[in-house]
C-alpha cells in the first residue's frame, strides 16, 4: 500500500480582494471561489492549509531587476497616470495595469511559491499547491501577459538550492515564455510547455526553440492547434512526459496548471474537459517525485474554481460528488450546479499526422539529451533570511550609514550566470512581444 502523500496547500484569503479592473479578464477573485469549493467539499480537513508569508522586495530581486521591483513597490494608478512614459517601460498597457495593491498581490503569489519550494527542499511535503501562483509570463525587468512577478522562477531557483535538476511543466494555453527564457541557457532546468502556437500571445514556443549553450535541448515546446480535445491531448502529453521523466530524472517537478486550456475559456481556444485537464495532474502525480502545483491562466472563473478544486481532490486521491455542495458562491455555478466542465463540439484542428510529427521531433530532441546533466551539486547555500538575520542587517545598516544593503544581502541575491536571464552568447535575445494577452496580432508568430 502506497504511503499517504503529505500535501501543503497555500491560501491567503486576501488574494481575492485585488482587482485588475472591471473589464480586465484576470480575476484574482477566482482563487477565493476555488478555496470555497475546496472547503465545501471538506478537502481542507485533509490538507495542511498554510497562509503564505509575503515575499519581500529583496526576495523578488533574486530574479527580477532592482529597478523594476522598486517601481512595482511604489506604483499606484495615480502615479501611472502622472508618469506614463516611465510606467510604459515596466507595465504593458491594458494587459498589465497599475491597479491598487499590485505589489501586495505579487507578494502573496510569490510568497506562497517560495515558501512551498522550501517545504519541498526540507522534506516537509510531498505535494504543494499554490493556486495563486503560476504567473509564467513575467520577465526579468517588466510585466507581461497579466503577470508582474514570476513566482515560478523564484520557486525553481529555491528548489535548485537542494535539487540537482528541476523540471517545469506548463499546461496553460499560452506558452510559458517567462520561465523558459529564465532558464534557457542551463541544463539544470528542463522546461516543457504544451500551448497554442501561431497568431496567439506570446507568439513564442516553436518546436525548434530548444535552448542554447548548456541549455540546448532542455527547452521542450509542444505547439498545438485550436480545438484539441482530451484524447488528442493525452495522446501527446503522456508519451512526451514519460520520455522527459525517464531522460531528465528531476528531483522535483513544478507544474503550472493554467485553466485557460479548458473548453469555453474566455481567452483560450482548446477544448479540454475538466477531467482531461486533471488527468495531466494525475499522470504527473504517478511518478512519485515531489510535485508543486501552481495556478496560472483561466478566465471563465466558475470553471477555474471547479477545476482547481477537483485537481486538489485528485492530488489527495479523493472522489468528489458531482453535485456541488452549497458554498459561498453557489449561484455562480448555475443552472447545472455540477462539478463538471464538459468539452464542446469544437472542431479539433490537430490531426493525427500533425501530432505524430510533433511527437517525433520532440522525441529526437530528448534522445539527444544525456541522461545525467553535467551540473554538479555544491554546498547548499543558506535559506532566505530569518528574523535574526534581519536584526543583524538592521544593525549593520545603522553602522554603515549610507550603505544601501549589507554584505549578506548582496551575497544572498547572487544567481549563477547560467541560471539567470541573460547569456554571454549572441544566440539568444529576449523577444519584444508583438501580441496582447487578450487578443492576437496580424503579425506572424515570432521565431528565434
Q: Tell me the catalytic residues.
A: 137
Q: How far apart are CA 48 and CA 36, in angstroms?
A: 16
Neighbours of 167 (CB within 10 A): 26
Residue 164 · residue 195 · CB < 8 Å: no
**DSSP character string of 53-83:** PPPPHHHHTTTS-HHHHHHHHH--HHHHHH-
Neighbours of 358 (CB within 10 A): 20
Neighbours of 50 (CB within 10 A): 18
Residue 46 · residue 154 · CB < 8 Å: no
Backbone torsion region of residue 26, taken as left when φ is above 0, otherwise alpha when ψ lies between -120 and 50, otherwise beta: beta
Residue 314 · residue 38 · CB < 8 Å: no
CA angle 220, 225, 231 (to 5 degrees): 85
Backbone torsion region of residue 56, taken as left when φ is above 0, otherwise alpha when ψ lies between -120 and 50, otherwise beta: beta
Order of strands across the sheet that contains 127-130: 48-50, 7-10, 127-130, 291-294, 252-256, 166-170, 189-196, 219-224
Neighbours of 353 (CB within 10 A): 8
Per-residue cell: 344: 464542446
- In DSSP terms, which residues pair with 8 in a beta bridge? 48, 128
The CA-based diameter of the chain, rounded to the nearest angstrom, is: 69
Amino acid at each position: 500500500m502506497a504511503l499517504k502523500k503529505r500535501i501543503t496547500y497555500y491560501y491567503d484569503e486576501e488574494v481575492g480582494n485585488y482587482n485588475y479592473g472591471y473589464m480586465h479578464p484576470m480575476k484574482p477573485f477566482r482563487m477565493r471561489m476555488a478555496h470555497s469549493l475546496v472547503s465545501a467539499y471538506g478537502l481542507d480537513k485533509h490538507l495542511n492549509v498554510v497562509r503564505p508569508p509575503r515575499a519581500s522586495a529583496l526576495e523578488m530581486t533574486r530574479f527580477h531587476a532592482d529597478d523594476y521591483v522598486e517601481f512595482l513597490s511604489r506604483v499606484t494608478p495615480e502615479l501611472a497616470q502622472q508618469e506614463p512614459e516611465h510606467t510604459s517601460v515596466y507595465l504593458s498597457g491594458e494587459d498589465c495595469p497599475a491597479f491598487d495593491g499590485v505589489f501586495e498581490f505579487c507578494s502573496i503569489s510569490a510568497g506562497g511559491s517560495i515558501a512551498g519550494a522550501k517545504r519541498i527542499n526540507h522534506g516537509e511535503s510531498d505535494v504543494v499547491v499554490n493556486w495563486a501562483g503560476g504567473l509564467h509570463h513575467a520577465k526579468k525587468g517588466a510585466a507581461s501577459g497579466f503577470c508582474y512577478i514570476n513566482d515560478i522562477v523564484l520557486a525553481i531557483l529555491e528548489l535548485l538550492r537542494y535539487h540537482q535538476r528541476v523540471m517545469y511543466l506548463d499546461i496553460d494555453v499560452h506558452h510559458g515564455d517567462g520561465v523558459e527564457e529564465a532558464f534557457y541557457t542551463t541544463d539544470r532546468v528542463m522546461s516543457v510547455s504544451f500551448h497554442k502556437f501561431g497568431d496567439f500571445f506570446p507568439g513564442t514556443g516553436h518546436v525548434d526553440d530548444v535552448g542554447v549553450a548548456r541549455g540546448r535541448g532542455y527547452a521542450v515546446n509542444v505547439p498545438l492547434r485550436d480545438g484539441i480535445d482530451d484524447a488528442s491531448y493525452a495522446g501527446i502529453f503522456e508519451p512526451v512526459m514519460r520520455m522527459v521523466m525517464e531522460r531528465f530524472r528531476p528531483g522535483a517537478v513544478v507544474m503550472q496548471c493554467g485553466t485557460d486550456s479548458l473548453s469555453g475559456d474566455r481567452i483560450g481556444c482548446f477544448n479540454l474537459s475538466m477531467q482531461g485537464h486533471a488527468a495531466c495532474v494525475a499522470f504527473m502525480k504517478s511518478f512519485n517525485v515531489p510535485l508543486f502545483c501552481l495556478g496560472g491562466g483561466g478566465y471563465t472563473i466558475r470553471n477555474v474554481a471547479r477545476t482547481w478544486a477537483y485537481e486538489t481532490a485528485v492530488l489527495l486521491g479523493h472522489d468528489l460528488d458531482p453535485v456541488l455542495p452549497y458554498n459561498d458562491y453557489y449561484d455562480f455555478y448555475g443552472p447545472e450546479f455540477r462539478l463538471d466542465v464538459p468539452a464542446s463540439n469544437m472542431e479539433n484542428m490537430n490531426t493525427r499526422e500533425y501530432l505524430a510529427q510533433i511527437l517525433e521531433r520532440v522525441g529526437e530532441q530528448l534522445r539527444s539529451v544525456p541522461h545525467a546533466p553535467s551540473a554538479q551539486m555544491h554546498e547548499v547555500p543558506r535559506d532566505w533570511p530569518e528574523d535574526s538575520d534581519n536584526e543583524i542587517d538592521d544593525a549593520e545598516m545603522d553602522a554603515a550609514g549610507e550603505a544601501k544593503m549589507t554584505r549578506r544581502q548582496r551575497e544572498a541575491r547572487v544567481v549563477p550566470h547560467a541560471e539567470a536571464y541573460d547569456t554571454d552568447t549572441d544566440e539568444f535575445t529576449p523577444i519584444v512581444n508583438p501580441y496582447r494577452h487578450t487578443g492576437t496580432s496580424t503579425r506572424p508568430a515570432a521565431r528565434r
